[in-house]
Amino acid sequence: MAQYSRISGSVGLITLKNPPVNALSAAVRQGIVDTVEKALCDPQVKSVVICGQDGVFCGGADVKEFEKSMSGPPLIPMIHSIECATKPMVAAIEGSALGGGLELALGCHYRIAHSKARLGLPEVTLGLLPAAGGSQRLPRLIGVPAALDLITTGRHVTAAEALQLGIVDQVTDHKTVDAAVKFALSVAGKPLDARRISTYPCPVVTDLDALFEDVMQKVRQSARGAIAPIACVQAVRAAATLPYTRGMEREKELMATLFTSGQARALQYNFFAQRAVGKWRMPSGARWDTSTPRPVHKVAVIGLGTMGRGIAVALAQAGLPVVTVEAQEKQLMEAKRVMSDMLKRGAKRRGVAPPLDKISYSSNIQDLADVDLVIEAVFEDMDLKKKVFLQLSAVCKPGTLLCTNTSGLDVDQLASQTRNPELVVGMHFFAPAHVMKLLEVVYGPRSSPQAVATAMQLGKKMGKISVAVGNCRGFVGNRMLKLYTEQASFLLEEGATPDLVDRAIEEFGFPMGVFRMSDLSGLDIGWRVRKEMKLAVPGQSARIREGRRYSPLGDLLCEQGRFGQKTGRGWYRYNKPGDRVAHSDPWLHHFLEEYRAQHGLVARRIDQQEILERCLYPMINEGFRILQDGIAAGPEDIDVIYVFGYGWPRHCGGPMFYASMVGLEKVLERLEHYYQAHPDVPYLQPCSLLRRLVAIGSPPVQKWREVIKNLHSQL
């Protein structure tokens, strides 16, 4: 809806009303058409201000409407009629002007923004392009290079940057609507021809071909198979080379292809999935909206290795006072130096002062007596962590929340060391912790809803996308990842090479293949865990362990000191230890040949399709088991974890969405096929939830929660 009123005698005020973000639903578009007509017909009105209610201008097109058939007035003619209006139209931008919201503002003759407003054309992140004239007007207004940057990345700019770029005409710290009305009064009656952006010639670019070739190359590289960024470049090229009306035709043509694409569906699903995970629920019935977080004024991090440092920096950057504790004096001093540098670099990037004074450093655990929440980030060793939890339980004031940063250890075992197990949760950060967006908040059987709510809220404050998950080995992310890496090793045994497997994975859209990733994180980490579990036994190369297929390849490499990048050798060869450029290693190929010969394995040709199915489908199958076990509340949780923590290509939605796109029947059939071929790999056996979904006709991913709920209620 849009509301119309007249203020200051001669200014028509149009207010968009569609909480929470005033998205341009059919009703809002109709409201705009009607109120603009009213304002233009009102002889008392000399100029018009368009604003949004409740401090938000407009969050763009209503994404929920994209799945339905189009109704209501279309955006393009609506914006065109605003631009053609004979009275000055002024956009009063507070909060956000995004996508169609900014396109609406670009149709206005003037734009006044509040200093805290954010503007952008984020359509590319939804698999689309700014197709309500944005791709044609923005380059005409701010030039081709700046428009390319904004449109291909979808990044939001601050009001200050928008002013500098020329997107807005004025920035105010005061009431935006008042400033816009004052401005509207000052421009009433002035000629408007020079204010209609669609009539501007596109600013000339010297060597246009070179610019577009360069941008296209960069976009192709970073897009990793996503089609929208490429269409965005093509649309801006049309703005730079064609008259406005022909450019609009090209924009429409490109949008038509994107709009119905699977990638757009995946990205839009992911947009809503990110929001859905904030509405967490536990199997006990506890939920985000019925659980009140405890206040957290002061936080502690114990253990200043790589993870602890990143966590403490992220906390300080979120404005929280942090006490850090590291028992080893030398490590403490080194951490202080490194963390100060991290804070300075981050502050420089963000143009703020480094929050150095937020962090205090200590080697004495007694200094944690008055904190509200502790994040333990010591070495990933259960006995050590248990000892720390025992100490924390004695030192911290009653009611302190005790969190463990672990990538998969049993949170409940740690809780059992404390007086208040209900105040213990896992907070699984991803390295580097001050950069990576994902946080798994792990609740054990005794964690209270309040503890979960507090950790989720803290994650949000730190700018993380937090997902609440149940307690099991590896939680969600690493539990699934284990099967992916194991299958990749099996493929090597059967005839593949690390290069072949990684190429297939990277072409699928992961930033890094499984073996390159393993070299980066260090092969020794998994080796230590397997040794602890008595799975890896030095000198042994048996391929069946604990009654199932096992690949000792990783262990054998570790026995040779090949830990990956840090030792200059791993699945690949590096020019020197610490180098990042992976080279195919003839030694490794020879080693694989010898290994196969020793075990009587005959190498066969393995194609890309099989690599993807073998690596991804077992993960997906485990995802179904995770849903069935109630470890994740819905497929959205798994997909968000994989997109933000493991590099799953966002334009493929996440593993569970991908499965629904491929077709559950096909996933089931391939798993059955691979299980038959490898009966010694029990996890290839299709999960009963997958079978159930196929049996009821493979409902869309948005309906799976209902099926799972019914399944649980039957148990």
The kind and range of the H/E element at 119 are strand 118-120
Q: How far is the CB of 470 from ligand LFKQWZQV (least distance, A)?
A: 23
Query: Quick one: 126 or 427, whose CB is closer to ligand LFKQWZQV?
Result: 126
Does residue 132 touch ligand LFKQWZQV according to CB under 6 A? yes
Decide if 103 is catalytic.
yes
Nearest Cα to Cα of residue 647 among 124, 224, 232, 258: 224
Please list every residue from 274 through 303 that binds ligand LFKQWZQV, using CB under 6 A: 275
Both structure tokens of 431: 């390295």
Pick one of 16, 85, 93, 131: the residue that binds ligand LFKQWZQV (CB under 6 A).
131
Please list every residue from 514 through 573 that binds ligand LFKQWZQV, using CB under 6 A: none
Residue pair 264/337 in contact by the 8 Å Cβ criterion = no
Both structure tokens of 408: 């998969």
Decide if 123 is catalytic.
yes
Does residue 11 touch ligand LFKQWZQV according to CB under 6 A? no
Q: How far is the CB of 68 from ligand LFKQWZQV (least distance, A)?
A: 12
* Dihedral sign from CA coordinates of 114, 120, 125, 128: positive
Does residue 190 touch ligand LFKQWZQV according to CB under 6 A? no
Burial 242-273 (b: 16+ CB within 10 A, else e): bebeebbebbeebbeebeebebbbbbbbbbeb
| Nearest residue to ligand LFKQWZQV, by Cβ distance, number only | 99
Query: Quick one: 98 or 168, whose CB is closer to ligand LFKQWZQV?
Result: 98
Q: How far is the CB of 264 from ligand LFKQWZQV (least distance, A)?
A: 10
Q: How far is the CB of 119 from ligand LFKQWZQV (least distance, A)?
A: 11
Maximum pairwise Cα distance, the chain: 92
Distance CA 354, CA 507 (A): 39
Q: If 0-12 CB within 10 Å is exposed, 13-18 middle and 19+ buried, where does residue 131 land?
A: buried
Q: If 0-12 CB within 10 Å is exposed, 13-18 middle and 19+ buried, where does residue 313 land?
A: buried
Both structure tokens of 77: 């003619």
Please list every residue from 68 through 87 that binds ligand LFKQWZQV, using CB under 6 A: 75
Q: How far is the CB of 398 from ligand LFKQWZQV (least distance, A)?
A: 34
Distance CA 315, CA 307 (A): 12
Nearest Cα to Cα of residue 93 among 23, 35, 180, 14: 180
Q: How far is the CB of 236 from ligand LFKQWZQV (least distance, A)?
A: 16
Residue pair 233/250 in contact by the 8 Å Cβ criterion = no
Q: How far is the CB of 272 from ligand LFKQWZQV (least distance, A)?
A: 6
Does residue 20 touch ligand LFKQWZQV according to CB under 6 A? yes
Residue window 26-65: x/- pattern of binding to ligand LFKQWZQV, with contact defined by CB under 6 A: ---------------------------------xxxxxx-
Q: Which entry of 83, 94, 103, 440 is annotated as an active-site residue?
A: 103
Q: How far is the CB of 2 from ligand LFKQWZQV (least distance, A)?
A: 16
Q: How far is the CB of 138 from ligand LFKQWZQV (least distance, A)?
A: 13
Nearest Cα to Cα of residue 444 among 408, 470, 478: 470
Selected range binding ligand LFKQWZQV among 20-28, 288-296, 561-569, 678-686, rule: CB under 6 A: 20-28
DSSP single-letter state for residue 704: H
How many residues touch ligand LFKQWZQV under the rule CB under 6 A: the total is: 22
Q: How far is the CB of 542 from ligand LFKQWZQV (least distance, A)?
A: 51
Both structure tokens of 121: 């054309």
φ/ψ bin of 427: left (φ > 0), alpha (ψ from -120 to 50), beta (otherwise) = beta
Residue pair 474/482 in contact by the 8 Å Cβ criterion = yes
Query: Quick one: 64 or 174, whose CB is closer to ligand LFKQWZQV?
Result: 64
Does residue 9 touch ligand LFKQWZQV according to CB under 6 A? no
Both structure tokens of 453: 């709510």
Q: How far is the CB of 18 from ligand LFKQWZQV (least distance, A)?
A: 9
Pick one of 94, 123, 169, 639: the residue that binds ligand LFKQWZQV (CB under 6 A).
123
Does residue 122 touch ligand LFKQWZQV according to CB under 6 A? yes
Does residue 308 touch ligand LFKQWZQV according to CB under 6 A? no
Peptide bond into 283 cis (omega under 30): no
Does residue 351 touch ligand LFKQWZQV according to CB under 6 A? no
Side-chain-facing half-sphere of 459: CA atoms under 13 Å: 28
Does residue 167 touch ligand LFKQWZQV according to CB under 6 A? no
Q: How far is the CB of 63 from ligand LFKQWZQV (least distance, A)?
A: 4
Nearest Cα to Cα of residue 529 among 426, 633, 406: 406
Does residue 229 touch ligand LFKQWZQV according to CB under 6 A? no
Pick one of 21, 232, 458, 606: the residue that binds ligand LFKQWZQV (CB under 6 A).
21
Does residue 408 touch ligand LFKQWZQV according to CB under 6 A? no
Pairing of strands 424-429, 401-404: parallel
Please list every residue from 242 through 281 that binds ligand LFKQWZQV, using CB under 6 A: 272, 275
Selected range binding ligand LFKQWZQV among 17-25, 219-227, 452-460, 654-662, rule: CB under 6 A: 17-25
Distance CA 616, CA 659 (A): 9
Residue pair 644/438 in contact by the 8 Å Cβ criterion = yes
Selected range binding ligand LFKQWZQV among 2-10, 124-132, 627-635, 645-653, rule: CB under 6 A: 124-132
Pick one of 2, 13, 14, 23: the residue that binds ligand LFKQWZQV (CB under 6 A).
23
The kind and range of the H/E element at 441 are strand 438-443
Q: Which entry of 83, 94, 123, 251 is annotated as an active-site residue?
A: 123
Does residue 421 touch ligand LFKQWZQV according to CB under 6 A? no
Does residue 202 touch ligand LFKQWZQV according to CB under 6 A? no
Please list every residue from 84 through 103 that binds ligand LFKQWZQV, using CB under 6 A: 96, 98-100
Which string of DSSP letters, residue by residue, matches 560-612? Answer: TT--BGGGTBSSSB-SSTT----B--HHHHHHHHHHHHHTTPPP----HHHHH
Does residue 126 touch ligand LFKQWZQV according to CB under 6 A? yes
What is the rounded radius of gyration, in angstroms, for the C-alpha atoms of the chain?
28
Report CA-CA distances (Å) from 1 to 17, 25, 53, 291. 5, 8, 11, 34
Residue pair 615/622 in contact by the 8 Å Cβ criterion = no
**In the complex, which residues of this chain contact ligand LFKQWZQV (CB under 6 A)?**
20-21, 23, 59-64, 75, 96, 98-100, 122-123, 126, 128, 131-132, 272, 275
The residues annotated with a catalytic role in the active site are: 103, 123
